[in-house]
Amino acid sequence: MTGTIDHILHFAGPEAVDLAALGVVASEGEPPVTLADLQNRAEAGVFEGSAVAARRVYVIAADAVHDADGLEVEPRVEAPGIWLAVRSIAFLANLPGLVAASDAERRKAGQPFVLYINPDYPLETLRKRITPMWMGTDYDLSGLSSTDIVEA
Amino acid sequence: MGVPRPLAIMSAGTSDFGIRPLISCDCSARAIATQYPFWMRRFQFAADFIKGHALIGGRRVTMAEIDARHTRLSVRRAADTSGVSREFSDGAMALTDRGFDSREPWTNLVPNPFNPRAWTIVNTNNTAEAGNFLGMSSAVRVASQGLTYGRVQSLLDVPLVVGQVYSARALYAAGSSPQMRSGIRSAAESNRASLVTGPVGAAAIAGATTMVTINAVRNISYGAGLYEVQYTFTAHEPINVTFEIGPNIGTPGQDVVAIAGQVTPTPYQMPWGAGSVDGDSLVISAADAGLVFNPVADAKTLVMVWRGTATESSVTFAHLLQARSSAGNLFLQYRKDQNYRLDLNSGSGTSTRGLAGALGSEQAFVVAWRPDGTWLTVDATGIFTGSRPMFNGVLDGISVGCSATDGRGRVNGTHKLAAIGAFDSFSTADAQALYDVVAR
């Protein structure tokens, strides 16, 4: 399957993230790629022969609430752990920590777009907003339903 | 192993590159517009990214065939010389009248950066503003309700990282307010803000807080009442913050038009983007490029041409143009915190030659490395020659704006011309003549 495939990965904490296992390593002569790098920008890699771009994202359970003066009255609520978004042109089922995969082009076309959901993560637990998105791709999954899942 | 096309034979002292273009010149404007640059024809790989001329394997190709070898896993934007920001689809090279715009990956932390109509309204009256402003078309007119701090603001996607330097830019149009403001504000404590404020088109640092320090304010006028203010800031607290634009005036009804905002976790400005934007890789295999040869075994001179503008990047070794073999390589680059330079890696050691020009300035370079180990560079200051044993290995790839090894190490810059060729000979006079053609 090819397209513009976004994989969402979940790890318990920073120590559980092995970027080399994702194929994300530094170019020659450059310092090692770290999780902090992935917070600032996507880093390129190769996983099972496919080019990937990986970056850290945040899964937002509830957005912050502000009053009329712009004062934050309710803080943002984030899902715990470390979350990564990995983009590729192919579905990569063996990515470690894979929670879900979606096809950005199918979503843009208004078609079912969810290619995979890890059975350990029930659909309702994924009804959240993921940020930052890729340019041109909306990661707001708060309206996710079973009709969004691509039939095998 | 040979090069799959006849190589030009150039004798020492011949200045073919300087003479032939004059001979082949057709002075009608139409002919010049479609004429294939003579200097390219001696190269296996050559590209004029502005005029759209290209060779691969010594064969004339369209720029689309170059683009087919370019990768990027996202949409991106790039601005032309007038500042208009155009969108380029997944994988498509960002080709503008500046040339091929190559970029490292970047992230805009402002959600909905091109739609300030969706930002949070704070003590202002807002109305949608029709029109296309440098490629953005969801502007909003922000009118004061009588408080100078009225604004539209957007909560950044992630908390600040202490010590990180960020770059911000706010695109706006003049309204009835003679003033404007932009800045960074604590999400939890809205009375804590570091701002740039002042006359439209002349904003300056207006206040400091302990959460961020603003520096390097730059005001840009695009004409017709369209402005941008850019600044950097260093984070001192790991807190959530908002980015804002407002009319900065206490007179009710006076307004400014907010068009777009961006905050990137880089100490230098990046093009407009939304969320994460992937970087650009242009790597061509030596087989594709017609450059499968061993400079030593085949007794060829490796010649490179590059013209463009490099700007600061995150990588230490920013490869503008590279020819690589498993035994060594030749590359034009700049090393972090330094300027343009040529690096020669013979496999047993590296030589470096500093080249003319500061980062951010447009430069042209001609470099050559001969099989006998003598090499030369031509830049705006003249010719320099040196000696270092040539690598003894077959080329496996070339690249523009990234490492030829893996397409990583991506570089911020715009490339007007790039060429790599294998020559039977290449004299100092040839080099100067070629420079004179490509630099003019």
The model's confidence at residue B17, banded by pLDDT at 50, 70 and 90, is low
User: pLDDT at residue B15 above 80?
Assistant: no
User: Which residue has 């890890």 as its token pair?
Assistant: A118
CA B201, distance to chain mean position in Å, is 25
Q: For residue B393, what are its two tokens? A: 């290995």
Pairwise CB contact (< 8 Å): A72 & B188: yes
Pairwise CB contact (< 8 Å): A87 & B406: no
The secondary structure of chain A, three-state, reads CEEEEEEEEEECCHHHCCHHHHCCCCCCCCCCCCHHHHHHCCEEEEECCEEEEEEEEEEEEECCEECCCCCEEECCEECCCEEEEEEEEECCCCCCCEEEEEEHHHHHCCCCCEEEECCCCCHHHHCCEEECCECCCCCECCCCCHHHECCC
User: pLDDT at residue B271 above 80?
Assistant: yes
Q: What is the mean pLDDT of residues B176-182?
A: 98
Q: A35 φ, ψ to 5°?
A: -60, -35
Which residues of A fall within a CB distance of 8 Å from B108? 132
For A102-129, the pLDDT digits (tens) are 999 999 899 999 999 999 998 888 899 9
The SS3 call for residue B436 is: helix
CB of A84 within 8 Å of a chain B CB? The answer is no
Cα torsion A118, A120, A123, A126 to 10°: value is: -80
Q: What is the mean pLDDT of residues A123-151?
A: 87
Question: In angstroms, what CA-CA distances link A36 with A39, B3, B166, B340?
Answer: 5, 44, 14, 28
Q: What is the mean pLDDT of residues B299-325?
A: 94
ipTM: 0.91
Pairwise CB contact (< 8 Å): B406 & A27: yes
Q: Chain B residue closest to A131 (CA)?
A: B157
Lowest mean pLDDT among A72-81, B65-74, B232-241, B329-338: B329-338
Q: State the pLDDT at residue B352.
A: 86
Q: Chain A residue closest to B151 (CA)?
A: A70
Q: Count CA atoms closer than 13 A to B373's CA, side-chain side.
A: 10
User: Which residue has 């290995």 as its token pair?
Assistant: B393
Mean pLDDT of chain B: 90
CATH number of the domain at B16-104+279-439, please?
Answer: 2.60.120.200
Pairwise CB contact (< 8 Å): A137 & B275: yes
Q: State the pLDDT at residue B26.
A: 39
Cis peptide bond upstream of A132, omega within 30: yes
* b (16+ CB within 10 A) / e for B375-412: bbbbbeeeebeeebbbbbbbbbbbbbbbbbbbbbbbbb
Q: State the pLDDT at residue B160.
A: 95
Pairwise CB contact (< 8 Å): B276 & A36: no
Lowest mean pLDDT among B159-163, B336-340, B429-433: B336-340
**Assigned fold of B107-277:** Jelly Rolls (2.60.120)
The model's confidence at residue B19, banded by pLDDT at 50, 70 and 90, is very low
CA B112, distance to chain mean position in Å, is 24
Pairwise CB contact (< 8 Å): A55 & B276: yes
CB of A108 within 8 Å of a chain B CB? The answer is no
Q: State the pLDDT at residue B10.
A: 38
E-strand stretches of B9-65: 45-48, 53-56, 59-61
- Our CA-based measurement puts residue A119 at a distance from the nearest CA of chain B, in whole angstroms, of 28
- Our CA-based measurement puts residue B209 at a distance from the nearest CA of chain A, in whole angstroms, of 17
CB of B165 within 8 Å of a chain A CB? The answer is no
CB of B105 within 8 Å of a chain A CB? The answer is yes
Q: B413 φ, ψ to 5°?
A: 175, 170
Q: What is the mean pLDDT of residues A8-32?
A: 93
Rounded CA gap, A4 and B71, in Å?
A: 13
Rounded CA gap, B332 and A114, in Å?
A: 44
Lowest mean pLDDT among B100-109, B260-269, B348-357: B348-357
Q: For residue A114, what are its two tokens? A: 């969810």
Q: How many domains does one find in chain A? A: 1
Q: State the pLDDT at residue A64.
A: 82
Q: What is the mean pLDDT of residues B23-37?
A: 48
- Our CA-based measurement puts residue B433 at a distance from the nearest CA of chain A, in whole angstroms, of 35
How does DSSP assign B276-335, residue by residue?
Answer: EE---EEEEEHHHHT----TTTTT-EEEEEEEEEE---SSSEEEEEEEEETTEEEEEEEE
Decide which of A28 and A16 is more confident: A16
> Which of B70, B74, B115 has the most A C-beta neighbours within 10 Å, making it the best mutation to test the interface with A?
B74
Rounded CA gap, B119 and B153, in Å?
A: 5
Rounded CA gap, B273 and B264, in Å?
A: 9
Show Cβ contacts of residue B104 under 8 Å, excluding neighbours closer than 6 positions: A41, B279, B313, B314, B315, B410, B411, B412
Pairwise CB contact (< 8 Å): B265 & A41: yes
Amino acid at B134: L
- Measured N-to-C along each axis, helices B16-23 and B428-439 cross at an angle, to the nearest 10 degrees, of 50
CB of A13 within 8 Å of a chain B CB? The answer is no
User: Which residue has 């001979």 as its token pair?
Assistant: B23
User: pLDDT at residue A1 above 70?
Assistant: no
Question: In angstroms, what CA-CA distances link B311 with B182, B339, B357?
Answer: 25, 10, 12
What are the sequence ranges of the domains in chain B? 16-104+279-439, 107-277
The model's confidence at residue B27, banded by pLDDT at 50, 70 and 90, is very low
E-strand stretches of B7-164: 45-48, 53-56, 59-61, 70-71, 76-79, 85-88, 95-96, 99-102, 106-108, 120-122, 124-129, 139-144, 151-155
- Percentages helix, strand, coil for chain B (3-state, rounded to 5) are 10, 45, 45
Q: State the pLDDT at residue B207.
A: 76
Q: What is the mean pLDDT of residues B250-277?
A: 97
Q: What is the mean pLDDT of residues A50-79?
A: 87
- Our CA-based measurement puts residue A78 at a distance from the nearest CA of chain B, in whole angstroms, of 11
CB of A70 within 8 Å of a chain B CB? The answer is yes
Show Cβ contacts of residue B223 under 8 Å, excluding neighbours closer than 6 positions: none
Q: What is the mean pLDDT of residues B57-69?
A: 96
Handedness of CA B397, B401, B402, B403 (dihedral sign): positive
User: pLDDT at residue B12 above 70?
Assistant: no
User: pLDDT at residue B4 above 50?
Assistant: no
CB of B283 within 8 Å of a chain A CB? The answer is no
CB B71 within 8 A of CB B407: yes
Q: Which of 15-44 (A) contact B at CB < 8 A?
A: 26-31, 36, 39-44
Cα torsion B297, B300, B305, B310 to 10°: value is: 20
User: pLDDT at residue B6 above 60?
Assistant: no
How does DSSP assign B208-227, residue by residue?
Answer: --SSEEEEEEEEEEEETTEE
- Our CA-based measurement puts residue A117 at a distance from the nearest CA of chain B, in whole angstroms, of 22
How does DSSP assign B61-99, residue by residue?
Answer: E-HHHHHTTEE-SS-EEEE-TT--EEEE-TT---EETTE
CB of B409 within 8 Å of a chain A CB? The answer is yes
Rounded CA gap, B439 and B383, in Å?
A: 14
Q: State the pLDDT at residue B265.
A: 97
User: pLDDT at residue A37 above 90?
Assistant: yes
Q: Which of A27, A64, A134 sits opposite B275 (nearest CB)?
A: A134
For B358-376, the pLDDT digits (tens) are 889 999 999 999 999 999 9
Rounded CA gap, B158 and A20, in Å?
A: 24
Lowest mean pLDDT among B16-25, B82-91, B131-140, B418-427: B16-25
Q: Max Cα separation, chain B?
A: 78
Domain region containing A130: 2-148
